[in-house]
Amino acid sequence: MSRNSYKNLCLGVLTGFAAFNAEAGDNASLLKKLVEKGVISEGEATAIAEEANSEFNNSMPSWVNSLTLKGDLRLRYDHTYDSASNGASAEDRWRYRFRFGGTAEMNNGVKTGFRLASGGTSDLGSTNTTIDGGFRRDDFYLDQAWAQMDLGEVTVIGGKNPNFEKTGWKLSKALFDGDITPEGFEAHYSTEAGAVNVGFHGGVYFLTGEDDSSKSIENLFLGQITATTTLSDTSKLDLGLGAYTVDDSGLDETTARVGNSSSGVGYSPVFLDAALSLKTGPGVKIYGTYVNNQESSATKDTGYITGIKFGSAKKAGQWEAKYEFRSLEADAVWDELTDSDFGAFGAATANSFGSGTNVEGTVLQGKYMVYDNVQAALTWMHTESEDGTDDESNNRIQADLIFKF
């Protein structure tokens, strides 16, 4: 066989091989062997690799190159403990969360995305599935389905959107659970004012999106102004001033969480967020949130969160640790949006554990990246009812192992 025949054979093999494995490192190993045996030269190996990759890319539909897929699996041990005097001294659960989705980059600044997730439909802030049912198959739900358009300096997103923290808002997870995927439309605009980056964010979300003889469309309106400025080479300040209001008739749409008064209180809280980031040592972030419900005439209308975080667990070998204190009076915010893990006995009634509002306590959390795509986390929450409905303190421990792909 001639040298050119060998070259053509190598090209055909590599093109076929790339169809099953597009990792350049695998092709390089095969070419290296051929160079070592003197079948082809190093220059020819380079040319073959480039030609094979080009033919592979040209043979694929355009949507393949625009689509990015990713997912994660979290395995969790969840333990809640309270004094035996409450008649519910301990609860242990093994749980998992699985999410898988993708985004497609389209032309003209358009992007679309989707995500499927485990969990149920009763709690809008949780995609956990408790392991039970004797090996029966579990449900899988549509968690996101959205489109994004970049219109100059304005970004518009609509559909079943990603969580607030992913789209430009600067909102505390204590007030807006990290698993919530709101349904509606939002817009984000940012501009530079001297050394300050200023952002304007607005959203209208539908609790019910149908208007007929039996019901009306019910909305939640959310707005925030954010500012970010670099104070020095090693420090940054983030500020946010926001508010939301929810149609009172829509407050009974879900009942997963508790704490709010049942006396017809409306919810239009205003919240101020601040965070100071320091690039010293492993990195330090000091942050806080203050919130007050403008529709409540009672005294249970205020909440605050303050905390400090060290490090940042992003790559293998990195770690982070966080201490946080939270206090949310019963009517400070709408209880359905708050962190679904932060609960206490007495949040609703004595001897009953619930998450939502009327809760205060501490969060201590540590994370460590075992590999770039494997994280271990341990969280301890020490809580009690904010108004003393139940005078027992509670301890909740969550041990997580998270795999990202």
The 3 state secondary structure assigned to 162-189 is: CCHHHCCCCCCCCCCCCCCCCEEEEEEE
Per-residue confidence (pLDDT) for residue 24, from 0 to 100: 46
Q: Which residue's structure tokens are 């990792």? A: 23
**62-76: string of b/e by CB count within 10 Å (b at 16+)?**
eeeeeeeeeeeebeb
* 125: three-class secondary structure by DSSP: coil
Beta-carbon contacts of residue 385 (< 8 Å; ≥ 6 apart): 344, 345, 346, 347, 358, 359, 360
17 vs 25: CA distance, rounded Å: 12
Q: What are the beta bridge partners of residue 151?
A: 154
Cα 138 to Cα 72, 146, 217, 220, 232, distances in angstroms? 17, 25, 32, 31, 51
Whether 27 contacts 45, CB under 8 Å: no
Residues 9-44 as b/e (b if ≥16 CB within 10 A, e otherwise) read: ebbeebbeebeeeeeeeebeebbeebbeeebbeeeb
CA distance 362 to 380: 8
Buried b (16+ CB within 10 A) or exposed e, 212-241: eeeeeebbbebbbebbbeeeeeeeeebbbe
In this predicted structure, what is the pLDDT of residue 91?
83
At 55 the three-state DSSP class reads helix
Evaluate whether 382 touches 393 at the Cβ level (below 8 Å). Answer: yes
Angle 267-271-274 from CA coordinates, rounded to 5° = 165
Task: List phi, psi (to 5°) of 101.
Answer: -165, -170
Strand ranges, E, within 152-278 = 154-160, 183-193, 196-208, 218-232, 235-246, 269-278
In DSSP terms, 400 is beta-bridged to 76, 377
Q: Are 386 and 342 in contact (CB under 8 A)?
A: no
For residues 147, 151, 155, 159, the Cα torsion angle rounded to the nearest 10 degrees is: -20
Tokens 């300040």 correspond to what residue? Answer: 237
Task: At 42, give phi and psi (nearest 5°).
Answer: -65, -40
SS3 300: coil
| Integer Cα distance of 303 and 262 in angstroms | 19
Which two tokens mark 183? 């349904």
Decide: 307 and 325 in contact? Cβ < 8 Å. Answer: yes
Contacts 24+ apart (CB under 8 A), 196-200: 196/227, 196/228, 196/229, 197/227, 197/228, 197/229, 198/225, 198/226, 198/227, 199/168, 199/224, 199/225, 199/226, 199/227, 199/228, 200/224, 200/225
Contact yes or no for 74/97 (Cβ under 8 A): yes
Please tell me the number of Cα atoms within 13 Å of 274 on its side-chain side.
7
Q: Model's pTM, two decimal places? A: 0.82
Q: State which residues of the chain have pLDDT below 70.
A: 1-27, 55-64, 83-89, 250, 252-255
3-state secondary structure of 230: strand
pLDDT number for residue 239: 98
